[in-house]
Structure 1
């Protein structure tokens, strides 16, 4: 994996780690903060997200993707996140993290990382 990809992954995972308990953020919200697309966030979470609070990342409608519903439900209950009547997720408007605060905290958390667009791929090989 190249250095730029590793930096992008690290930036996304740090952002996910900052979503507070009892709150959620959508793939799109994380993507907007990190400067990538929502599908990239989904791919990163699928491959590298097991060590971060993955249950706090939802669709724009507050739904948990894939087959993670059963694993997320008890964690959500513990964090005070209530399921929608359809059982697929939460009401996003009720549980969304404060995105401005999340972005502020994320910028502090990535201060030690270089900008992925400034990484010299030839030097990292």
Structure 2
């Protein structure tokens, strides 16, 4: 049971660090956070599997308390990730519109016609 609680604690720390980075728009370490979360989830799964011998009532009571705080941190992290994804989507839309506007202003049409005449 202690291994499970330690795994949850480490995942909470990782999520808290990532959420802080998202709040500061410091996205440089997102790849590292992803790796840390994947490792933490593997550790969590192994800890849960090891708890098969623990009394179910004890397991549920202790795990439920530990997971409640973790869930709240995950929800806050999810909000930060959603905000970043919306920002990326908006930027992508602006870039796509700029490319469409640029391509439709006739600039490339004139260049294509000039190349045809040269050949």
TM-score range, shorter-chain basis?
under 0.3
| Greater helix proportion | 2
TM-score with structure 1 setting the length? 0.27
